[in-house]
Each structure stands twice: as structure tokens, then as C-alpha cells.
């Protein structure tokens, strides 16, 4: 009887360890250790030529608290994601850190993040400490994915300036909230609901060489490791859409 109890206790202990390891490996709120630097030749905001295709919007979104990433770019899927980043030097760094939006792709000296100098400074405790961080250039950090939040903003479609009505259609998606990625986009005719899967040409830029005619509806697939769901905007893109225009979708997500 005693042997059986010992065996059961041993099995239970093993199960607890396995559960803890599985939870740790899938922990979406856990911090990851890494390094970060900043754009040395830019103003305080980010760059308007980032690989996500946001243009000037990519320099100023989130009050300029933006970053280029290396592996987290994920061939453009990571564009628009938000991360909480905290540096580790207790002499200079605050516990709060900074929340940045991914707007570019880049890598440095074993870094996962190359931030705007505004974001890099925001990790510091004080103004003097921020100057010290800038002097260091590269710092140890910890980061985790967090939900993006854009109060009073709907998901917005910006028609790329290179679009050519009605032959070539390209656009970028702004202001996506939550922690999920947009992994697929469909462009649908509103009359007969025939849909076409779009190509991700660069970062957050979605394109097609032969767009459907008439007013258009965008369908976006939001995904993470656990599930996925399609989001359909309330507002359609008008039939005679114009390059450079922005269109409010009328919807927002908190996925």
C-alpha cells in the first residue's frame, strides 16, 4: 500500500512538472530576454521608409514610439504588433518601460529591437538617465507582446499612392488593436460577393493586379496560436477609389 502511494505521488509530481513546462512554453504574457538599440541617424520619431510600408504614418503612430524588429518581423506578419519593452540597467531604467509598435525590419548587434530614439529614451527613469541610455547605444532588455490600443480609432484602409484605378490596387491597414496578426485579406465584390485572396507584397501592404469591379469589401483574417476569425468591416471601399485616400472601415477589434 505504501509503495502504491509513493508511486502515485511520483506520477502526480511528474504531471505537475510537465504541466508547468507546457504552460511556460506557451506563456503569452512572459518576458523574453534580448537587446535593443535605436535609430542613430533619425529624429526622435521613427522612419517614414520602414519595411512595413506605412510611410510617414509609420514614423508618428503611437506618438512616435515605434521600432524596427528582426525575427519578430516574420516576413511582414509582425507589422503593427505592439510590445512592452523594459531595459535591465537598474541605474537608468524604469520598471514601466515603453510600449512600441512594429513599423520596420532591421537588426543590429544581437538586437531584437531598433527603436526610435523617442521610444529608447522612454525606457529611462529620468531625462538624465535617458541621455545615459542614448550614450550606451545598445542595452539589455526584456519584452513581451501586448495588445495595441487606439482609442476612438477604427481600423483604417490607406490606398497606396502607387495604386492605379482600376488596374492595380494596393493598400495598408492602420490602427489594428489587440494581439492577433492579420494573416490573410480578401477583397470582395459587394454585388455578387465573389472574393479574391490578396498578396502581401511587403510588410502590411496588400495588393492585387486585377481588383474586382464596383464597391469593394475587405475581409481580414485575425490569427494567433490558438484560433482565428474573419472580421468584415461595416463600411465598403467606394467603387471609384482613389490612390492616396484613406477609408474608415467602421469596425475595430479587441482580439
Per-residue model confidence (pLDDT) at position 146: 97
Q: Which of 42-46, 96-100, 192-196, 216-220 has the lowest mean pLDDT?
A: 42-46
Tell me phi and psi for residue 134, to 5 degrees: -60, -40
Q: How far from 4 is each of 1, 13, 18, 81, 217, CA to CA, in Å? A: 5, 14, 21, 51, 64
Q: How confident is the model at residue 26 (pLDDT cuts 50, 70, 90)?
A: low
Residue 164, strand partner residues: 168
DSSP state of 56: T
Give the whole-angstrom CA distance, residue 194 versus residue 51: 31
Average pLDDT estimate for 8-28: 50
Residue 8 has pLDDT above 70, yes or no: no
Decide if pLDDT at 20 tops 50: no
Q: What is the pTM of this model?
A: 0.88
Per-residue pLDDT tens digits for 110-159 = 999 999 999 999 999 999 999 999 999 999 999 999 999 999 999 999 99
Contacts of 37 (CB under 8 A, 6+ apart): 108, 109, 111, 113, 114, 115, 120, 137, 138, 139
Q: How far apart are CA 151 and CA 162, in angstroms?
A: 30
Mean of pLDDT over the chain: 90
pLDDT > 90 in the chain, percent:
81
Q: What is the mean pLDDT of residues 22-49?
A: 81
Amino acid at each position: 500500500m505504501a509503495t502504491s502511494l509513493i508511486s502515485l505521488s511520483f506520477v502526480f509530481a511528474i504531471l505537475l512538472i510537465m504541466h508547468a513546462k507546457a504552460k511556460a512554453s506557451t506563456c503569452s504574457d512572459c518576458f523574453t530576454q534580448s537587446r535593443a538599440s535605436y535609430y542613430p541617424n533619425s529624429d526622435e520619431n521613427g522612419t517614414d521608409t520602414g519595411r512595413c510600408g506605412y510611410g510617414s504614418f509609420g514614423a508618428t503612430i503611437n506618438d512616435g514610439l515605434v521600432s524596427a524588429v528582426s525575427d519578430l518581423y516574420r516576413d511582414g506578419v509582425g507589422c503593427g504588433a505592439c510590445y512592452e519593452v523594459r531595459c535591465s540597467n537598474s541605474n537608468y531604467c524604469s520598471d514601466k518601460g515603453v510600449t512600441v509598435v512594429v513599423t520596420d525590419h532591421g537588426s543590429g548587434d544581437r538586437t531584437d529591437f531598433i527603436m526610435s530614439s523617442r521610444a529608447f529614451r522612454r525606457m529611462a527613469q529620468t531625462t538624465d538617465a535617458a541621455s545615459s541610455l542614448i550614450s550606451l547605444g545598445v542595452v539589455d532588455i526584456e519584452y513581451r507582446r501586448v495588445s495595441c490600443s487606439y482609442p476612438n480609432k477604427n481600423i483604417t484602409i490607406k490606398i497606396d499612392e502607387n495604386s492605379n484605378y482600376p488596374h492595380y490596387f494596393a493598400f495598408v491597414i492602420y490602427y489594428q488593436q489587440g494581439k492577433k496578426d492579420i494573416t490573410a485579406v480578401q477583397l470582395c465584390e459587394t454585388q455578387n460577393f465573389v472574393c479574391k485572396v490578396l498578396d502581401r507584397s511587403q510588410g502590411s501592404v496588400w495588393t492585387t493586379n486585377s481588383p474586382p469591379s464596383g464597391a469593394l469589401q475587405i475581409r481580414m483574417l485575425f490569427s494567433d496560436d490558438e484560433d482565428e476569425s474573419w472580421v468584415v468591416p461595416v463600411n465598403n471601399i467606394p467603387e471609384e477609389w482613389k490612390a492616396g485616400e484613406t477609408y474608415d472601415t467602421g469596425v475595430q477589434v479587441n482580439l
